[in-house]
Structure 1
């Protein structure tokens, strides 16, 4: 077809109709038409020509032009779209490199193949514009709830019509026993919106913890207003969930507000989640207290928190063990997710047995090292002494409070403890030298002979070797692999060397060896401290070494 006056306005009318149907800018459709006509013209005049088409937005008149660019003589490659300065003088006055010469060319007759190609270009451009519009509309709605209509199911994944687009509810994002049929209405959480080769993808979820939080925000005005905050959510989708809430108004009970009159508010959320049981728990800044709340309905008698390892030991009455663990470990697993801690649960009997074993081990240590009878050793353990260092170097008055211990007895105990420690230190030092430990490591401040012995056994025999160690290699730590926390044993962990102490010792060794400038180290530490970084020593180390 030729672009004649008869169908000039038809172009604009077609563009308007397509834009209205796809809800995109009419200008984008016109641009697509211009590109498709230019492509058809190139197939008629030659693909090496730079043919451009401009459609008047008012009259619909299509103007075909050939554009040639002025280039340097030596850069002339395409005679159809480029010309030299000398050649351009025929058409332009005082031409310079970069100028363009534009001449109008006759409109082309579009054959069947050219028309089909033009149609494909227009459709492709329209699809791209439609995808961009869809992405722009939904990208800011991630993290919100949306209502949709089920269109179809593909390989267990549900395609949901969400208005101006389609979302996908994957099989693993559905609550287990849910089944959907076409035209069913469904409420989902927009988990993510991403650009992909096949267009923007809207990923929906009904199992995400955030879905439950958003549902409560819709049902509880106090949460929407910010008076009550949801601090944490843990779910076993379709079965059970725990949600921790806190109130910033002392006159409002956060748990009661979320439950609602006769349970109306929480019941609305339960119904949406197919009967999922929900435990609403008051949040507490004190982790042990929060954990006791999180393990409801089980009663807890004792909590021991290891903040460095992010682990917590919980002691429950014997008859409460199964309740605390829950069916298939559900209760303790949800409590662990809610608090972010690894939880070890034991009964009072198990804890008593463990304490008895520790008592026996310490009693035997004092009997062997101090040459005292069992009764006297038990007295020391009962008073809280756990090792020989405490007995040998504690203030004398702390030994005198033990029944039956006078000043002479206390001094004798300390003498024996110190002699035993000195003998052990000599033996450890001798063994370390046999293994090849050098004086630079042995004389390093902060390392005991026993520590040097352990280091030498692991191949750390010089100050240079020690300076290359990472702090966690010495003090131990925890790493997370696939969501599971794994313990990393440290060489000096049994000597109660903390991560901070290990960092300081390693950095001191590096300064002594000249690897780190102490002035730079102090400046980096000060800067990290001012920035309020939790791991200031690590940051300082990296900056100083850099």
Structure 2
């Protein structure tokens, strides 16, 4: 009778292990290991916690075996966990110092408290295994779209049941005016999975730009197959978005593919995003063309690029200004996010005024510096000369070729320009010495006297002072707070120095000051693989085939 009871218990143990493993979607071995830990804990409380006890459950028969582990030592100091070599060899003649002897223990009769403790251990271990399984499953799904059912809404945060895990869509990751209730189906983008104290946290978003890109991949076969590539996405969630697309196949129009027959494809995405208007833009490798496309539906008359600062001035017709800027600046803001360029928009009238003001300023500068009348100064300015330096060092023929000028006039103008620059240089050098800026800074390539005066005014007066500067000190930096970008000026602002040039200048000063060795600055040359080369070539081919188009879906 008792034997049948034992067999039933063993069989029941394995059935429980199988049931828990199936229900929690974890490995059966994990459940059996948890049971072993639980039995081990109960045995320790029965036989004394000082003992080193090992429990094993046979995964085939369910039989439980208990044993006390004793370490073989020369000199026994703790009888509960150690055994002398002589005694160990009576049990096992091959025993050596450092080995462990397993001493079998009689089967354990669980009391109520021991059973309760064992249950807690199993529950805890199974929960840990379940959390680990959830993390392993979803950490590789970051960047995917998942479907779930709303479980509850807490303070605006939507808790989503994904079937085998729970996720959260925080309030700021949901679309405006979007309300979810218990039981609603929800589609969202997995943007982060983290291990936390209370288990893995899966964060979903419906406002992320990549959510829109993935929705297009689901709706547009060409995007899914990689024929049409989504280069960038800019969103004002729930209101408006711009998406830049390019095709690898010249026979396929990327904008038309994304719009679909009668707008069916883009409309499916719009419906999912609660009516968010989507402008589909043709991407172009030429920055100016791409930015003009991105500002659609506004027309652009002229663009002026500053590639170093990644800034562009866009001139639009007077009546198109409000359309180009958009409601609350939305159109130009999205175009800037899409292209990665800062965009300044001005009307033809304001651009003309500014051009006239610059022309007058240049003319006045030439009149003063070259001691010439207004007509000559205006001729120089209208021919594109913007500074006295250009006049002084340009080829004489370029000046003499101006209508009304001859070789003698050109030589005289250049002589006056150089004389003015020498006088200016002498004044700047005197100011540099007055500020106490060291002569050895003049030996650094890329620095002129005007720059040294600017450095001296900011207490940079020696090689060591310059070597101690950070790139931000010279080039300036931008800071973003409360959605406002603030520009902090650098010591060398106004001299056309890029961040890379400022960095090189500081490194040169550190080398000259002996802080670092010049050999340490030589970078290892990376080897270009054939595959990279072919990809670049392929990209160039793709880019040649693009042209600017746009489409708007609402």
Identify if the C-alpha distance between structure 1 residues 492 and 281 changes in structure 2 by more than 3 Å, giving closer, same or farther.
same
Work out the CA distance in 2 between the residues paired with 1:91 and 1:25. 37
SS of the residue corresponding to residue 54 of structure 1 reads: strand
Work out the CA distance in 2 between the residues paired with 1:142 and 1:305. 37
Provide, for residues 211-241 of structure 1, a one-character-per-residue CA deviation record: whole Å limited to 9, x for no partner: 1111111111111111101111111111111
Work out the CA distance in 2 between the residues paired with 1:377 and 1:239. 52
The match for 1:118 is 118
Per-residue deviation, 1:403: 2.3
What aligned pairs does 1:130-145 form with structure 2 within 5 A after superposition? 130-145=130-145
Conserved 8 A contact 2:68-2:103: yes
Q: Identify which range, 245-254 or 197-206, moves more after superposition.
A: 197-206
Identify if the C-alpha distance between structure 1 residues 115 and 489 changes in structure 2 by more than 3 Å, giving closer, same or farther.
same
Work out the CA distance in 2 between the residues paired with 1:129 and 1:253. 50
Q: Identify which range, 409-418 or 87-96, moves more after superposition.
A: 87-96
Q: Does 1:8 align with 2:4?
A: no
Conserved 8 A contact 2:53-2:66: yes
Work out the CA distance in 1 between the residues paired with 2:515 and 2:34. 63
SS of the residue corresponding to residue 140 of structure 2 reads: helix
Identify if the C-alpha distance between structure 1 residues 85 and 458 changes in structure 2 by more than 3 Å, giving closer, same or farther.
same
Provide, for residues 445-493 of structure 1, a one-character-per-residue CA deviation record: whole Å limited to 9, x for no partner: 543332222222222222333333345544x254454676553433334
The match for 2:97 is 97
The match for 1:248 is 248
What aligned pairs does 1:215-226 form with structure 2 within 5 A after superposition? 215-226=215-226
Work out the CA distance in 1 between the residues paired with 2:413 and 2:310. 38
Identify if the C-alpha distance between structure 1 residues 517 and 30 changes in structure 2 by more than 3 Å, giving closer, same or farther.
closer
Identify if the C-alpha distance between structure 1 residues 458 and 20 changes in structure 2 by more than 3 Å, giving closer, same or farther.
closer
User: Which is bigger in relative contact order (C-alpha 8 A, separation at least 6)?
Assistant: 2
Identify if the C-alpha distance between structure 1 residues 403 and 178 changes in structure 2 by more than 3 Å, giving closer, same or farther.
same
What aligned pairs does 1:422-501 form with structure 2 within 5 A after superposition? 422-442=422-442, 444=444, 446-474=446-474, 476=475, 478-479=477-478, 481=480, 486-501=486-501
Identify if the C-alpha distance between structure 1 residues 204 and 452 changes in structure 2 by more than 3 Å, giving closer, same or farther.
closer
Conserved 8 A contact 1:30-1:55: yes
Provide, for residues 20-53 of structure 1, a one-character-per-residue CA deviation record: whole Å limited to 9, x for no partner: 2222222222221111111111111101111221
Identify if the C-alpha distance between structure 1 residues 261 and 436 changes in structure 2 by more than 3 Å, giving closer, same or farther.
same
SS of the residue corresponding to residue 389 of structure 1 reads: helix
Conserved 8 A contact 2:58-2:64: yes
The two structures have a TM-score, normalised by structure 1, of 0.90
Work out the CA distance in 2 between the residues paired with 1:107 and 1:462. 84
Identify if the C-alpha distance between structure 1 residues 530 and 37 changes in structure 2 by more than 3 Å, giving closer, same or farther.
closer
The match for 1:45 is 47
Per-residue deviation, 1:338: 0.6
Q: Identify which range, 324-333 or 512-521, moves more after superposition.
A: 512-521
The match for 1:411 is 411
The match for 2:296 is 296
Conserved 8 A contact 1:478-1:485: no
Conserved 8 A contact 2:219-2:268: yes
Identify if the C-alpha distance between structure 1 residues 72 and 299 changes in structure 2 by more than 3 Å, giving closer, same or farther.
farther
SS of the residue corresponding to residue 417 of structure 1 reads: helix
Work out the CA distance in 2 between the residues paired with 1:20 and 1:495. 70
Identify if the C-alpha distance between structure 1 residues 323 and 71 changes in structure 2 by more than 3 Å, giving closer, same or farther.
farther
Q: Does 1:31 align with 2:30?
A: no
The match for 2:367 is 367
Conserved 8 A contact 1:295-1:324: yes
Work out the CA distance in 1 between the residues paired with 2:74 and 2:489. 70
The match for 2:57 is 55
SS of the residue corresponding to residue 102 of structure 1 reads: strand
Work out the CA distance in 1 between the residues paired with 2:438 and 2:133. 70
What aligned pairs does 1:95-494 form with structure 2 within 5 A after superposition? 95-442=95-442, 444=444, 446-474=446-474, 476=475, 478-479=477-478, 481=480, 486-494=486-494
Work out the CA distance in 2 between the residues paired with 1:445 and 1:166. 61
Per-residue deviation, 1:116: 0.8
Work out the CA distance in 1 between the residues paired with 2:45 and 2:473. 69
Q: Identify which range, 22-31 or 255-264, moves more after superposition.
A: 22-31
Conserved 8 A contact 1:437-1:452: yes
Q: Identify which range, 441-450 or 215-224, moves more after superposition.
A: 441-450
SS of the residue corresponding to residue 402 of structure 2 reads: coil
Conserved 8 A contact 1:239-1:276: yes
Per-residue deviation, 1:6: 4.3
Q: How many residues align?
A: 526
SS of the residue corresponding to residue 433 of structure 2 reads: helix
Work out the CA distance in 1 between the residues paired with 2:114 and 2:279. 66
Work out the CA distance in 2 between the residues paired with 1:446 and 1:25. 66
Work out the CA distance in 1 between the residues paired with 2:476 and 2:527. 26
Per-residue deviation, 1:185: 1.3
Q: Identify which range, 116-125 or 465-474, moves more after superposition.
A: 465-474
SS of the residue corresponding to residue 91 of structure 2 reads: coil
Work out the CA distance in 1 between the residues paired with 2:508 and 2:136. 54
Identify if the C-alpha distance between structure 1 residues 496 and 529 changes in structure 2 by more than 3 Å, giving closer, same or farther.
farther
Work out the CA distance in 2 between the residues paired with 1:238 and 1:333. 15
SS of the residue corresponding to residue 93 of structure 2 reads: coil
Per-residue deviation, 1:79: 2.4
The match for 1:20 is 22
Conserved 8 A contact 1:309-1:478: no
Conserved 8 A contact 2:476-2:493: no
Q: Identify which range, 480-489 or 183-192, moves more after superposition.
A: 480-489
Q: Identify which range, 252-261 or 171-180, moves more after superposition.
A: 171-180
SS of the residue corresponding to residue 40 of structure 1 reads: helix
SS of the residue corresponding to residue 495 of structure 1 reads: coil
Conserved 8 A contact 1:426-1:449: no
Work out the CA distance in 2 between the residues paired with 1:170 and 1:279. 27
Work out the CA distance in 1 between the residues paired with 2:220 and 2:445. 60
